[in-house]
Chain A
Amino acid sequence: QVQLVQSGAEVKKPGASVKVSCKASGYTFTSYYMHWVRQAPGQGLEWMGVINPSGGSTIYAHKFQGRVTMTRDTSTSTVYMELSSLRSEDTAVYYCAREVAAAGTVGFDYWGQGTLVTVSS
């Protein structure tokens, strides 16, 4: 069965960086794009970007360009999301989500369990 397992919770100081991992299993890793979506406490869902695990190409949301880097390791079927220059507003649960394309639309059919990143001095 498809599983996305994320790394554990992190506590970081303002200005630091965090790197969250998402290990995929149960399907062909390189066949599905992987997205990152975050959710601040009590807030809605915010798309951060997407990586093509096959070639490594990425598209980032304008808001995060210059601060976010998404990479992948095909040997371990793992994608990574690194966010730098952290500020308190980056405190959120970060999710990886597998893209599914059906009937012309693109959605997210499998999600990781989420990784809480807390930014606090």
Chain B
Amino acid sequence: DIQMTQSPSSLSASVGDRVTITCRASQGINNYLNWYQQKPGKAPNLLIYAASSLQSGVPSRFSGSGSGTDFTLTISSLQPEDFATYYCQQSYSTPPTFGGGTKVEIK
């Protein structure tokens, strides 16, 4: 199975900050990488697919980049509703696997 490693596991930031989360795959996965946001008690929500494509309805302050083994999710200006946990997920091979998550907390 492909291992997905996210860093940091948590971070504290203020409204308006630029936030970057990284995700590393244990082997090359081309651009078969998705990002999700999950709020407490809710199901995950797809933000970014194919490493850099914005899912319909997702604000443009979210962006993704990367290819191969290293990927990033960037929030250009953190908003109050963005405080949540973020997960990456690879779909290069079965089983699809998720990173351990990055919790974004209020500073």
Which residues of A are in contact with B by a Cβ distance under 8 Å? Answer: 35, 44-47, 59, 61-62, 95, 97, 100, 102-109, 111-114
Minimum C-beta distance from B57 to chain A (A): 10
Minimum C-beta distance from B67 to chain A (A): 12
Binds A, one of B10-18, B19-27, B74-82, B98-106: B98-106
Complex partner residue of A46 from B44, B50, B53, B98, CB under 8 angstroms? B98
Q: From residue 49 to 70 of chain B, which have CB atoms closer than 8 A to chain A?
A: 49-51, 53, 55
Complex partner residue of B50 from A35, A95, A103, A114, CB under 8 angstroms? A103
Contact A47 B98 (CB under 8 A): yes
Complex partner residue of A103 from B44, B53, B94, CB under 8 angstroms? B53
Which residues of B are in contact with A by a Cβ distance under 8 Å? Answer: 30-34, 36, 43-46, 49-51, 53, 55, 87, 89, 91, 94-101
Minimum C-beta distance from B14 to chain A (A): 25
Contact B46 A109 (CB under 8 A): yes
Contact B55 A109 (CB under 8 A): yes
The A interface, classified by DSSP as helix, strand, loop or mixed, is strand
Minimum C-beta distance from A62 to chain B (A): 8
Minimum C-beta distance from B64 to chain A (A): 11
Contact A105 B91 (CB under 8 A): yes
Q: A44-B99, A45-B87 are in contact. Are A107 and B94 (CB under 8 A)?
A: no
Contact B94 A44 (CB under 8 A): no
Minimum C-beta distance from B98 to chain A (A): 4
